[in-house]
Amino acid sequence: MSAIENLPISFKERLRAHFSIARLDHSLKNVFVLPGIVVPLSVSPELVTWGLAGRLLLAFLAITLIACSNYVLNEVLDAPFDRLHPVKRNRPAARGLVHTGWAYVQWLAMMLAGIAVSLFVSRMFTVFALALWIMGCLYNIPPIRTKDVPYLDVLTESINNPLRMLLGWYAVTSVLIPPVSLLIAYWMIGCYFMALKRFSELSEIRTKTDAGAYRASFKHYSPESLLVSVVFYASTASLFLGAFIIRYRIELILGFPLVALTMAIYLKLSFKAGSAVQNPEKLYREPLLMASFLATVLVMGLLLFIRIPQLENFFMPTLPQSHVASGSSSKTT
């Protein structure tokens, strides 16, 4: 227990602080579960049953509990570093309003409650709910603490994106298997957003020493290296999203310009002072980004349920297939 925790704090204030560190306002991130729900339903509409709504409600409750458990751990372990940040030093744990022992009980209790609820959804859902919690541990707990390792911090934090997609998927079906190309694209898009968050944070910290004291990975980053990584993540995400679109649902290619527009707007936002990119739960305050994002979700969602055969003809291969060419060559010889 830190010395600051010995200061007189009322029970009500302490309770409010423990509620706050669960970060329920971050539940907005559960929107990343939706593609995992919508894609299998677009392939097999018969999956829509009377029991689906109740199962989805349990799924979102379980995901929220697991995510909140991870936030509690993050808040407690990051408190010493948050005190060095001009904004995050106002967090409850950084201010000494959180009782460390109670916080660890809260962390485990929320995880156990989340896993218990998961068992009512499906076995595979429970497996990935546990995986989401374990990733939170690897990200936050020393000596592994991947958030302190450059690039690995972005990769391990962003893997929560495909995990959330898998949770949505297995809340709907345990028969269909999610496409690997879509999972990788989702992972890389998450890396793109996370790397821009790091870039925005680093750009506003005055010195390299201050940056390294606040976040260990910042000792090895520079704004330039982060922007280079952003290009890599965006390119990789586009490659695998394109592979999914061509292989499974060519109609989605019509919505790709909106995906690119949303990514471009997000990139521009990361250059603003005090950008909401640093606090994704506040992105709803950016009207242009929200308009682009909602248009993207709406169009891509509709295109999942619309068939346009002409597009398949338009993008039909015009060059000989390699295996066909080699086969005809072997026949000739």
Token pair for 132: 């989401």
Q: Is residue 253 part of a domain?
A: yes
Spell out the residues 6+ positions from residue 246 whose beta carbon is closer than 8 angstroms to its own: 253, 315
Separation between Cα atoms, residue 191 and residue 218, nearest integer Å: 16
Q: Is residue 326 part of a domain?
A: no
pLDDT of residue 6: 53
Separation between Cα atoms, residue 178 and residue 56, nearest integer Å: 18
Question: In this structure, are 221 and 90 located in the same domain?
Answer: no
Separation between Cα atoms, residue 261 and residue 98, nearest integer Å: 41
pLDDT of residue 140: 94
Question: In this structure, are 208 and 243 located in the same domain?
Answer: yes
Question: In this structure, are 300 and 246 located in the same domain?
Answer: yes
Question: In this structure, are 136 and 184 located in the same domain?
Answer: no
Distances in Å between the Cα of 184 and the Cα atoms of 162, 243, 256 are 7, 10, 16
Question: In this structure, are 160 and 199 located in the same domain?
Answer: no
Residue 317 has φ and ψ, to the nearest 5°, of -55, 135
The domain that holds 123 is classified in CATH as 1.10.357.140
pLDDT of residue 323: 60
Question: In this structure, are 85 and 170 located in the same domain?
Answer: yes
Q: Is residue 4 part of a domain?
A: no
Question: In this structure, are 173 and 258 located in the same domain?
Answer: no
Burial class for 106, CB neighbours closer than 10 Å (0-12, 13-18, 19+): buried
Last residue of a domain, one of 148, 178, 208: 178
Question: In this structure, are 293 and 198 located in the same domain?
Answer: yes
Q: Is residue 115 part of a domain?
A: yes
pLDDT values of the chain reduced to their tens digit, one per residue, 333 residues:
444 445 577 888 889 989 999 998 888 788 889 999 999 999 999 998 889 999 999 999 999 999 999 999 999 999 898 888 777 888 888 888 899 999 999 999 999 999 999 999 999 999 999 999 999 999 999 999 999 999 999 999 999 999 999 999 999 998 889 999 999 999 999 999 999 999 999 988 877 787 888 888 999 999 999 999 999 999 999 999 999 999 999 999 999 999 999 999 999 999 998 888 888 778 888 999 999 999 999 999 999 999 998 988 888 888 887 664 445 444 444
Question: In this structure, are 131 and 213 located in the same domain?
Answer: no
Q: Is residue 332 part of a domain?
A: no
What is the per-residue DSSP string for 32-59? Answer: GGHHHHHHHHHH-GGG--HHHHHHHHHH
Separation between Cα atoms, residue 125 and residue 249, nearest integer Å: 25
Question: In this structure, are 42 and 137 located in the same domain?
Answer: yes
Q: What is the mean pLDDT of the chain?
A: 90
Q: Is residue 107 part of a domain?
A: yes
Q: Within the chain, how many helices (H) and strands (E) appear?
A: 14, 0
Last residue of a domain, one of 178, 199, 215: 178
| CB under 8 A, 24+ apart: contacts of 275-278 | 275/200, 277/193, 277/196, 277/197, 277/200, 278/197, 278/200, 278/201, 278/204
Q: Is residue 320 part of a domain?
A: no
Query: Looking at this protein, which amino acid is placed at residue 29?
Result: K
Give the orientation angle of helix 50-82 with respect to helix 160-172, to 10 degrees. Answer: 160
Query: Looking at this protein, which amino acid is placed at residue 261?
Result: L
Query: Looking at this protein, which amino acid is placed at residue 308?
Result: I
- The pLDDT tens digits of the residues spanning 149-162 come to 999 999 999 999 99
Q: Which domain holds residue 120?
A: 10-178
Separation between Cα atoms, residue 75 and residue 20, nearest integer Å: 10
Question: In this structure, are 16 and 86 located in the same domain?
Answer: yes
Q: Is residue 239 part of a domain?
A: yes
What pTM does this model have?
0.88
pLDDT of residue 101: 94
Last residue of a domain, one of 155, 178, 201: 178
What is the number of other CB atoms lying within 10 angstroms of the CB of residue 291?
Answer: 13
What is the enclosing helix (H) or strand (E) of 309? helix 309-314
Question: In this structure, are 168 and 193 located in the same domain?
Answer: no
Number of domains in the chain: 2
